[in-house]
């Protein structure tokens, strides 16, 4: 089928979609690059002027930048730890034959289908609210003082919310991997005298190395850009305690109306994402090689 | 020591009876092959002995001890799986050493035993490779190495050669047999291939639909099949079965004659006349498929190169004393 004719035909038929996607990608990117070199304030329309790299200098030297970079990395790292640390035991449990297994699986996966804004609101108002939240009620019925999550431990609260959303994803990937573990290998290990713990350490964990890598890479992509949860719950505060890079860019553009600096921030975020990706692929990517 | 005795062993999955009461005595050091068609329960029986399945009834004795409630690892058996079931992320050394490591042996002793097992199986140059870097035959040898290194009371083989190509299978067949004789360890080997069974076994267990049809040495099974099933299963090409007047004349419901016990004669004497449908020339043998009228299609094995082709008329004469007779229950009638 790979004649010259079919290749030409394939290219001709593919090109509209590829061209459209390319324009879709390149126009915003080019505009962002362009805006990042302008003095462009929405409060002062018509005053756009070329300022070179001044926006970058302003964004990178802003004390909020380092704080938000740190928050971003802490958020990504903690959520990864939580989702994988809890995802493995959860996947192991779901792999057991129990009655109503399909329904249980569906329920475990459900949080993934809830919109980030909705789940953040549920957590904020129904669970973590210091007066009317479920956690507060539990704390008071045990005679303890309720924690005011979004004041006392705002970043931790955001981490919990995001981890809750991503735990199903990790569990699902790890569960499918567990199901592909060869039954005869488990039996061979059993014949070799390996107990459940040894089988977990010597068979299951190495078998899960690859899916864990997939979870880390995919989650990192999305966790670097967490926004809705922060916007809905803390608004980046108190102070800068829950401001990550994505939220900082938003606040530059739409709170301070500085499009130029926001564009520069967006490009910095792209660079940071690439740096993170580079290290991730170096550290865990070799697990993906066959 | 590795004497394995089954007493009325049964296994059912829900309402389905897989093994319907198996009694068997496997003496120490014997190479016993379970053979039968797909779904006859031979693998299930092996897994029951291994302890990977629980029996629904009966007793399994290893050296006189009932092991029905003993976990697999404590039975002192080792198993070679059809898929080899090597641990993919461990080197060959790690794979072979795993059982010893689990048993908590000191490192030096493990190393020494692994090296010895690897030397026996010509695996020494591959000790630090991963299973995926090995050929099918080498993987098979690693699986066997993993079994022998633990010095078990018996080896259990679950169709270990079925994933290999024909030439390699013949070679591994010899290697496994030689190794078993050299170690003198009891072995139970499951296969659906009756050639493997005939060539490797000291004793064969023929299974059909969850029952042991016959238990005996390969030659016994060949010469004195207990019933129609065993007669048809053992021997290649398959035995010819003839029913009707020809059988009644000899006082049986069915008579059976092996293809190699039918001669093509042209001396004008008595015989079954027929017409050749197909002649398969293998060089050393010629297989003739002959339409013998009321007797049906008969397979005839002639030694050497017979100059016969489709459409030729032939006279067939069964070797006297090599005609097996079966009653209407399919059981052999021994005169």
* A39 assigned to some structural domain: no
Could you please state the CATH topology (level 3) that the domain comprising B237-333 is classified under.
Answer: OB fold (Dihydrolipoamide Acetyltransferase, E2P) (2.40.50)
Q: What is the pLDDT of residue A144?
A: 81
Q: pLDDT per residue over A233-284, tens digit each?
A: 887 778 788 888 888 888 877 777 888 888 888 888 888 888 888 888 887 7
Taking the CB of residue A161, how many other CB atoms lie within 10 A of it? 26
Reported for A233-236, long-range contacts at CB under 8 A and 24+ positions apart, including other chains, are: A233/A120, A233/A123, A233/A124, A233/A150, A233/A154, A233/A157, A233/A158, A233/A161, A234/A150, A234/A154, A234/A157, A234/A158
pTM greater than 0.80: no
CATH number at residue A268: 1.10.3720.10
- Tell me, yes or no, whether A190 lies in a domain: yes
Question: Measured between CB atoms, does A194 come within 8 Å of chain B?
Answer: yes
State how far the Cα of A125 lies from the Cα of A130, in Å rounded to an integer: 9
Contact B98 A194 (CB under 8 A): yes
* Domain contains A12: no
Mean pLDDT of A107-131: 85
Residue B200: its H or E element: helix B194-200
Token pair for B310 = 């489709």
User: Is residue A94, in this structure, part of any structural domain at all?
Assistant: yes
B4-226 shares its CATH topology with B237-333: no
Helix (H, G, I), strand (E, B) or coil at A26: helix
- Dihedrals φ, ψ of B203, to 5°? -140, 145
Angle at A215 between CA A214 and CA A221, to 5 degrees: 95
Helical segments of chain A, H only? 4-36, 54-61, 63-94, 101-109, 116-122, 134-141, 149-152, 154-179, 183-191, 196-199, 205-223, 228-233, 245-250, 259-284
Residues of A in contact with B89 (CB under 8 A): 206-207, 209
Domain residue limits at A268: 52-288
Q: Which of residues 298-327 of B touch A (CB under 8 A)?
A: none
pLDDT of residue A77: 92
Within its chain, how far is the Cα of B323 from the centroid?
A: 25
pLDDT at B1 over 80: no
Give the number of domains in chain A.
Answer: 1
Q: What's the helix, strand, coil split of chain B in %, to 5?
A: 30, 35, 35
* C-alpha span between B77 and B154 (Å, rounded): 5
Task: Give domain status of residue A145, yes or no.
Answer: yes
The pair of structure tokens assigned to A17 is 């979609």
Q: Between the CA of residue B333 and those of B123, B219, B221, B326, what are the distances in Å?
A: 51, 18, 15, 5
Listed range (A109-118, B70-79, B306-315) with the worst mean pLDDT: B306-315
A201 touches B: beta carbon within 8 Å: no
Give the start-to-end residue ranges of the domains of chain B. 4-226, 237-333
Q: What is the mean pLDDT of residues B9-19?
A: 87
Q: Is residue A24 in some structural domain?
A: no
Asked if A190 and B52 come within 8 Å (Cβ–Cβ), the reply is yes
Query: Residue A29: how many CA atoms within 13 Å on its side-chain side?
Result: 8
- Lowest mean pLDDT across A18-27, B25-34, B127-136, B306-315: B306-315
pLDDT tens, position by position, B279-332: 888 888 889 999 988 888 999 998 876 678 888 888 888 888 888 999 888 888
Report the residue from B83, B89, B102 with minimal CB separation from A192. Answer: B102
Smallest CA–CA distance from A287 into chain B, residue: B89
- Determine the pLDDT at residue A101: 79
**Topology (CATH level 3) of domain B4-226:** Rossmann fold (3.40.50)
The full DSSP string for A159-172 is HHHHHHHHHHHHHH
How many residues are listed for chain B in this entry?
335
pLDDT band at A85 (very low <50, low <70, confident <90, very high): very high
As a whole number, mean pLDDT of residues B249-278 equals 87
| Residue listed under structure tokens 């324009």 | A23
Question: What's the pLDDT at A290?
Answer: 52
B186-193: average pLDDT: 90
Record the tokens describing residue B324, joined without a space. 């097996």
């Amino acid at each position: 089928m790979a004649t010259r004719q079919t290749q030409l035909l394939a290219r001709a038929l593919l090109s509209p979609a590829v061209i459209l996607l390319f324009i879709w990608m390149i126009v915003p990117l080019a505009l962002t690059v362009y805006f990042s070199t302008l003095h462009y304030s929405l409060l002062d329309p018509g005053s756009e002027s070329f300022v070179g790299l001044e926006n970058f200098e302003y964004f990178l030297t802003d004390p909020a930048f380092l704080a938000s970079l740190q928050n971003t990395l802490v958020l990504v790292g903690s959520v990864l730890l939580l989702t994988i640390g809890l995802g493995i035991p959860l996947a192991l449990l779901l792999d057991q034959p129990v009655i109503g297994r399909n329904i249980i699986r569906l329920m475990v996966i459900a949080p993934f289908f809830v919109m980030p804004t909705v789940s953040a609101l549920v957590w904020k108002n129904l669970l973590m609210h210091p007066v009317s939240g479920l956690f507060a009620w539990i704390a008071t019925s045990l005679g303890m003082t309720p924690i005011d999550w979004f004041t006392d431990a705002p970043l931790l609260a955001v981490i919990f919310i995001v981890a809750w959303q991503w735990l199903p994803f990790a569990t699902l990937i790890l569960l499918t991997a567990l199901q592909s573990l060869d039954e005869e290998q488990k039996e061979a290990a059993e014949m070799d005298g390996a107990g459940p713990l040894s089988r977990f350490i010597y068979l299951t964990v190495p078998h899960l190395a690859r899916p864990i890598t997939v979870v880390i890479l995919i989650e990192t992509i999305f966790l670097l850009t967490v926004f809705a949860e922060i916007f809905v719950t803390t608004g980046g505060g108190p102070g800068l305690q829950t401001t990550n890079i994505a939220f900082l860019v938003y606040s530059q553009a739409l709170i301070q109306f500085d499009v130029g600096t926001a564009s520069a921030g967006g490009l910095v975020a792209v660079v940071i994402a690439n740096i993170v990706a580079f290290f991730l692929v170096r550290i865990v990517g070799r697990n993906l090689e066959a | 020591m590795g004497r394995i005795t089954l007493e009325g062993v049964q296994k059912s999955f829900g309402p389905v009876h897989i093994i319907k009461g198996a009694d068997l005595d496997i003496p120490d050091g014997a190479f016993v092959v379970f053979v039968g068609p797909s779904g006859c329960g031979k693998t299930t029986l092996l897994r029951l002995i291994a302890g990977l399945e629980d029996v629904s009834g009966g007793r399994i004795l290893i050296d006189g001890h009932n092991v029905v409630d003993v976990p697999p690892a404590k039975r002192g058996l080792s198993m070679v799986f059809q898929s080899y079931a090597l641990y993919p992320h461990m080197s060959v050394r790690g794979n072979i050493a795993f059982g010893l490591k689990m048993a908590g042996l000191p490192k030096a002793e493990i190393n020494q035993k692994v090296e010895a097992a690897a030397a026996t199986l010509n695996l020494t140059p591959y000790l630090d490779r991963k299973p995926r870097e090995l050929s099918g035959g080498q993987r098979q040898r690693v699986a066997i190495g993993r079994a022998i290194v633990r010095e078990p009371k018996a080896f259990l083989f679950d169709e270990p050669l079925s994933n290999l190509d024909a030439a390699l299978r013949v070679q591994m067949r010899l290697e496994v047999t030689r190794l078993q004789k050299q170690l003198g360890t009891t072995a139970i080997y499951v296969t659906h291939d009756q050639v493997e069974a005939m060539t490797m076994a000291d004793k064969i267990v023929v299974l059909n639909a969850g029952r042991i049809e016959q238990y005996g040495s390969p030659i016994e099974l060949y010469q004195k099949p207990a019933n129609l099933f065993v007669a048809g299963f053992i021997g290649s090409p398959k035995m010819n079965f003839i029913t009707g007047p020809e059988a009644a004349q000899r006082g049986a419901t069915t008579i059976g004659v092996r293809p190699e016990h039918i001669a093509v004669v042209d001396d004008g004497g008595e015989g079954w006349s027929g017409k050749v449908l197909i002649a398969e020339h293998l060089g050393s043998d010629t297989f003739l498929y002959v339409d013998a009228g009321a007797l049906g299609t008969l397979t005839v094995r002639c030694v050497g190169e017979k100059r016969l082709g489709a459409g030729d008329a032939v006279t067939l004469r069964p070797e006297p004393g090599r005609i097996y007779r079966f009653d209407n229950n399919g059981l052999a009638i021994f005169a």
